Structure 1
Amino acid sequence: MVGPAVKRETVAHLRAVMGLSERRACCIVAVDRTTVRYVAKRQADATLREKLRELANARRRFGYRRLFVLLRQEGERSGKNRIYRLYRGEGLTVRKRRARRRAVGTRATILAEAKPNARWVSGLRA
């Protein structure tokens, strides 16, 4: 499987080197002419990436969903899938909390010494 970008380059190559028409070159490569003429209109991600990084550093416990809400409140119109793609692309993740330290070893019950007139404490109080 070859992507549309490679097919565009192939058509451009055929037209430049062999002097073919666009129609004939597209027919040889088996690509639609509208695909060849397509020009991407994607917005620049640089400012959005910077804003996302800034918010993520300010609020380290926020994931991409909550950052998406904050960006929406600031007027950003991008969808959450795009925010997720940029979030992952920047290598951002929610910081993991450190685990609580556990006691090492097994716990042993304290044995009461059995002797005459010893007081045994029970769960019920009188």
Structure 2
Amino acid sequence: MGVDRSSVRYVSHRPDQAPLMLRIRDLAATRTRYGYFRIYILLRREGWFVNHKRVYRLYRDDGLSLRLKKPRRNVSAVNRDRQPAAAAANEMWSMDFVSDALFDGRRLRALTVVDAFTREALAIHVDQGIKGEQVVEVMARISSIRGAPRTIRVDNGPEFISKALDRWAYENGVTLDFSRPGKPTDNAFVESFNGRLRDECLNTHWFLSLEDARAKIEAWRRDYNESRPHGAVSLMRTRLHTMHLGL
């Protein structure tokens, strides 16, 4: 047949790519806005000795390219189990953004950070524009006082998928738990907190300047932590007091 015997008898010794492909799919599912190179970096951190060109080939062959994704409005929720709830203080933080405006129409944004176990508002950082580097500064400031958490729950906003936050989390042993697209309930604690912030503070104040907004929002945060009655906490204290009295 005119075929060399070595070609007929050749047995491929290439390693099985299935485990690597499964891990790439898992990372792409949990980091829905990460491209192949950032997934490659995560793989290297986990100990996969793999070339970025192989990651790119498998990434494209499986149809994971960001350019091939459907518009967000047509994307179904990622099939991923919800993470367990926090069991202790400072174990899990949740953070998100709230938007508002000054009296003259200039926009402002507030980064809210909440302890998912104690419901304490750890910080509300207010500025006219907040980038990933500023999110890292807030995280570093809180961590210098309380220590870094084990997990931070976030959505897939550009500030939270930034390289700056990803590097800070890696260097401090923090896991970024991204919400599933279309599932805001994955980060329900901070969503609930943001609703109270808007209802009790943002909707009841005029902000004359950025400094004025920072002062009023910080005053509300302190009152929220120190004086405001929290339904779940108050109910638990009432039950413990009743049990102590033997009623």
Task: Classify the TM-score, shorter chain.
Answer: 0.3 to 0.5
TM (norm. structure 1) is 0.48
Structure of larger gyration radius = 1
